[in-house]
Amino acid sequence: MPASTPRTGRRSAPAPDTAPDDAPLIQAKALTKRFGSYVAVDGVDFAVRRGEVFGFLGPNGAGKTTTMRMIACVSPVTDGELRVLGMNPASDGPAIRSRLGVVPQEDNLDAEMTVWDNLLIYGRYFGLPVSVIRERAAELLAFARLDDRRDSRVDPLSGGMKRRLTIARSLINRPELVLLDEPTTGLDPQARHALWERLYRLKREGVTLVLTTHYMDEAEQLCDRLVIMDEGRIVAEGSPRQLIDRHSTREVVELRFAQPEQQDAALPLLGGTGDRVEPVADRVLIYTAHGDDTAAHVAAQGVHPDSVLVRRSSLEDVFLLLTGRSLDE
């Protein structure tokens, strides 16, 4: 391990109240959250194993943040069962939170203080001695590539820098489990890839990561397993590969037309060309096992779109299929 790598991994000897190594780190059974009469999370079951990267996907309002907040013990469970690190959030909140790292969807940094003060103050919330924080903060600033901004105030930093600082801050207590709610929203592609790199490093060190994201490529890259949520329920679960295999075809043919009228005119002719035909705003997607054959079939029907693209199915296709409007029809 290079000298600059922070030792963010968990300790070898687990505390006595920790669940045995093979037990799930997070276990939810029929987990439910209601705000008044509104059901935000509707009886979900999932388990996160030690050392894996677990993702929550879903459209806006699906209940991802609400679920994450229940795991973080800052939102009481309405119904069902939730165990985190083998403990009960209702009674062991402080003990659980002391071993968690949390990156909230919205940054809540101390805007008027410096970058370094932010790490210091947050570390003190955990009761860490200043000498220990000083040591870890130096490593974390390097990790977040913010060493040269150590003494600048947070307020004028760019959105991406603030995000990186929030992530660095969440690691100050060397958590075993890190919850990241849309960690890369607002980051440029380069910063996004750099962050993935750092998340891999945490994973290698044995840290368990739970994240939400709206980027399908991110989920595909990072997550060992993920669930797709919609309207408070889990609609699919598995590894990215399993989800694609299970819910989509092997390949997709994308047809683009110059005019919307041409697209409308072509639709009735495409009926038998693939397993599913899915018109979206600016193109038509045809789900099929063999893309080239389907493309030939389309041409034989006398449909001549502007462009024809054959590609492999992606998580995005699964997502659209499971949460898109077409599912309701």
Partner 1 sequence: MSDAPVRAAGPGWASWSDALPLLRVTEREARVWGRYWHTSVLTGVLMPLLFLGAMGVGLGGLVDDNQGTVQGVRYLAFVAPGILAATALQSASGDSLWPVMAGIKWVRTFHAAAATPLSPGQVYGGYVTWIGIRLCLNAALFVAVAALLGGVPSPWGVLAVPAAALGGLAFAAPLVAYSAGQDSDLSFPIIMRVAVMPMFLFSGTFFPVDQLPDWLEPLARVTPLWHAVELCRGATTGSSSLAGALGHTAFLVAVVAVGCAWGVRTFRRRLAS
Contact between 113 and partner 1 per CB under 8 A: yes
Stretch that binds partner 1, among 20-28, 126-134, 181-189, 290-298 (CB under 8 A): 126-134
Partner from partner 1, Mg ion, ligand ATP, none binding residue 109, C-beta < 5-8 Å depending on class: partner 1
With CB under 5 to 8 Å by kind, the binding choice for 10 among partner 1, Mg ion, ligand ATP, none is partner 1
Chain contacts with ligand ATP (rule: CB under 6 A): 35, 38, 40, 58, 60-66, 105
Contacts of 55 (CB under 8 A, 6+ apart): 210, 211, 212, 213, 219, 222, 223, 225, 226, 227
In angstroms, give the least distance from the CB of 76 to partner 1.
7
Work out the number of other CB atoms within 10 angstroms of the CB of residue 209: 24
216: CB partners within 8 A, 6+ apart: 57, 314, 315, 316, 319
Among partner 1, ligand ATP, Mg ion, none, residue 63 binds (CB under 5-8 Å by kind): ligand ATP
Exposure class string for 92-116: b at 16+ Cβ within 10 A, else e: bbebbbebbbbbbeebebbeeeebb
**Tally of helices (H runs) and strands (E runs) in the chain:** 12, 13
**Residue number, 9 or 291, with CB nearest to partner 1:** 9
Q: Does 186 bind partner 1 (CB under 8 A)?
A: no
Residue among 29, 26, 33 nearest 76 (CA): 33
Crossing angle for the helix pair 240-247 and 315-323, to the nearest 10 degrees: 60
Q: Which of 21, 34, 79, 108 binds partner 1 (CB under 8 A)?
A: 108
For position 299 contacting partner 1 by CB under 8 A, the verdict is no
Judged by CB under 5 A, the number of residues near Mg ion is 2
In the chain, the amino acid numbered 178 is V
**Cβ-closest residue to ligand ATP?**
65
Q: Which stretch binds partner 1 (CB under 8 A): 69-77, 143-151, 204-212, 250-258?
A: 69-77
Structure tokens at 31: 């987990």
Q: Which residues pair with 64 in a beta bridge?
A: none
Cβ 124 to partner 1, closest distance in Å?
5
User: What is the end-to-end Cα distance of the chain in Å, rounded?
Assistant: 53
Taking the complex as a whole, how short is the minimal distance between the CB of residue 64 and ligand ATP, in angstroms?
3
> Binding pattern to partner 1, positions 149-178, x when CB under 8 A?
------------------------xx-x--
The span from the CA of 133 to the CA of 122, in Å, is 9
153 φ/ψ angles, rounded to the nearest 5 degrees: -65, 155
For residues 280 and 320, give the distance between their C-alpha atoms in angstroms, rounded to a whole number.
10
CA distance 170 to 210: 13
Selected from 18, 65, 249, 313, the binder of partner 1 by CB under 8 A is 18
19 binds partner 1 (CB under 8 A): no
Query: Using CB under 5 A, which of 65, 67, 166, 294 touches Mg ion?
Result: 65
In the bound state with Mg ion, the residue whose beta carbon lies nearer, of 195 and 286, is 195
Q: Which residues bind partner 1 (CB under 8 A)?
A: 10-11, 13-15, 18, 35, 72-76, 93-95, 97-100, 102, 104, 106, 108-113, 117, 120-122, 124-132, 173-174, 176
